[in-house]
Amino acid sequence: MTPVNRRVLQELCLTLTALFAIFWAILRACVQSVTIDEADTYLFFASRAAQFIWYPSSNNHVLNSLLMWITTCLLGTSSITVRAPALAGAILYICVCYFLSKRITSQFTLQLSLFICLTYNPFIFDFMVAARGYGLATGFLLAAIAVPLWHREKEARSLAKSCALASLFLGLSFTANFSFTFVDAAAFLAIATWACQRRGREPVTNILVASVLPGLSVVLAICGYTILNWPKGQLWWGATSLAQTTHSIVEASLFQLDPHFEKAGLYRAMNYLKPALLPLIGIHCVCQLIVTRIEGAWLRDASARRLGRFASALLAIGTLAIFTHWLAFHLFGLLLPKGRTGIYLVPLCTLLAGIIAAVPARSWAGVWCHRGLIAAMVTLACYFLLCLRLTYFEEWKWDAEVKDVYPLLARYNHQDGVTDIGCSWWYTAALNFYRMASGRETIEEIKSGAEPIRGKQVYVLHGLFDRKFIEQEGLAIVYKGASTDIVVAVNPEASLRPIAIDP
């Protein structure tokens, strides 16, 4: 096989991997049940009059709510239309990761494994689908960080225009999710510093105006009202230590191997290696840095120096974001990132590891460190591919079968005229979403409190946590979830006709 043909096949493989990621995200958006947080976003902000889009609330990711309102108004309410903004963010994120993977290295093995680690990480993938603002915010953040590389790649003449583009991306990232405040600010400082160093004869005022004005204008236009009217007590989700932050992100990133592969040898091997994967990559990164620093590999050529500067910028952005957030925690009690609010750390750390792996070494020690790091990244990429899931999100796994329950409630409504449904708070919002999306039933708005409301004919309950209620009311369970604890229970005194439930 000629080198030309090999390069064509490698390019095709990377492209197909990117296209499959987009396809899988869209498929998940169509298949998966709408969850409590997604439903709350739609019910509270996107399904009501336009002014509610800007209502100040921690659950309101303004840009996402605005786009959700537009898509549902134009195309109707469905799981795909409420998730359309997240899918747009996913496509942007995948495209940027494709660009960065190719610019960081020309070594195909590393290129492909880096791209897979960036996009197929189950934590990242969940929020490329979920109808929340995290995926949009991450996509715009990474797009802004990629602008300096794009500027050099395209040999763009106007530095101010590149700064304006990065500023616009950062402004959109902030409007998509306020938890990106610190990392967006850190990225702004890094990009402004880069631009000032490269400005040549261009006045520094032009660079600063281009770096500030587009992003600030977007922020004020989209969520100025929300910020000015922000109430106290909204920011209640977070960690109280950096150890909790790290644990929440690692746990979500490694959750969970697809049980369909549990009989395969590769599944057992990956499950065994799981606790060591990230520490192994971290150790290899440190060793590679030490060896290449001693060898002077980062100074050997212009490409390595550019990668070194980009890696330094990524490290500075992540460190500054966490440090300023840590200061805010100790000074003002603002909780540290936890899980989804720290999702931006995943692509930053992954890119940093990919850049370190991309710098080759000359000595035998450097060569083995280089090979070991690439092997570890390939292993992690294989692990992520085995984590592909189609029916649930890690954070809301208990909501995975709500879409299967609503048709049963609809049949009770059409067959027996049941309009008042009792429900556990776990499922109320999602069922109300499906009630509104259907529009064919006369079911009243489903309500719940700390405990299910008594005296209903039909209930949707959590089989484990509502067991005492089921026993006290003498309810008969007519449906049990196959993979979750959701159950449908009926009052035996309600005289409802039996309904055949498909297996």
pLDDT at 352: 96
Joined together, the tokens standing for residue 266 give 């590769």
Q: Which amino acid is at 116?
A: I
Is residue 39 within 8 A of residue 430, CB to CB? The reply is: yes
What is residue 460's three-state secondary structure?
A: strand
pLDDT at 501: 56
In percent, the amount of the chain with pLDDT more than 70 equals 96
Asked if pLDDT for residue 503 goes beyond 50, the answer is no
pLDDT confidence tier of residue 25, bands split at 50, 70 and 90: very high
d(CA 26, CA 30): 6
Question: What pLDDT, in 10s, does the model give residues 65-75?
Answer: 999 999 999 99
Domain residue ranges of the chain, discontinuous segments joined by +: 3-228+236-385, 401-494
Which ranges constitute the DSSP H helices of 76-203?
79-82, 84-104, 108-119, 122-129, 134-153, 159-176, 181-198
Least confident of 89-103, 131-145, 294-308: 294-308
pLDDT confidence tier of residue 255, bands split at 50, 70 and 90: very high
pLDDT confidence tier of residue 297, bands split at 50, 70 and 90: low
Pairing of strands 458-462, 486-490: antiparallel
CA distances (Å), origin 449, targets 41, 422, 429, 432, 445: 19, 10, 12, 15, 13
pLDDT at 498: 60
Asked if pLDDT for residue 502 goes beyond 70, the answer is no
Asked if pLDDT for residue 315 goes beyond 60, the answer is yes
Pairing of strands 421-423, 458-462: parallel
pLDDT confidence tier of residue 500, bands split at 50, 70 and 90: low
d(CA 228, CA 220): 10
Mean pLDDT, all residues of the chain: 91
pLDDT confidence tier of residue 154, bands split at 50, 70 and 90: confident
What is residue 174's three-state secondary structure?
A: helix
pLDDT at 5: 82
Asked if pLDDT for residue 156 goes beyond 70, the answer is no
pLDDT at 270: 87
Asked if pLDDT for residue 344 goes beyond 50, the answer is yes
pLDDT confidence tier of residue 4, bands split at 50, 70 and 90: low
Least confident of 76-85, 151-160, 246-255: 151-160
d(CA 441, CA 410): 6
pLDDT at 499: 64
Least confident of 57-61, 261-265, 279-283: 261-265
Question: What pLDDT, in 10s, does the model give residues 357-414?
Answer: 998 777 777 788 889 999 999 999 999 999 999 999 999 999 999 999 999 999 999 9
Question: What pLDDT, in 10s, does the model give residues 78-100?
Answer: 999 999 999 999 999 999 999 99
Sign of CA dihedral 383, 400, 31, 119: negative
In terms of phi and psi (left: phi > 0; alpha: psi -120 to 50; beta: otherwise), the region of 167 is: alpha
180 Cβ contact list (under 8 Å, min separation 6): 137, 138, 141, 173, 174, 344
In percent, the amount of the chain with pLDDT more than 90 equals 74
What is residue 289's three-state secondary structure?
A: helix
Backbone angles phi, psi at 120, to 5 degrees: -95, 0
The more confident residue out of 152 and 15 is 15
pLDDT at 234: 77
Asked if pLDDT for residue 1 goes beyond 60, the answer is no
Asked if pLDDT for residue 429 goes beyond 60, the answer is yes
126-148: average pLDDT:
96
pLDDT confidence tier of residue 170, bands split at 50, 70 and 90: very high
**pTM, 2 dp:** 0.93
d(CA 352, CA 70): 37
Question: What pLDDT, in 10s, does the model give residues 187-221?
Answer: 999 999 999 888 877 788 889 999 999 999 999 99
Question: What pLDDT, in 10s, does the model give residues 446-497?
Answer: 988 878 888 899 999 999 999 999 999 899 999 999 999 999 999 887 777 6
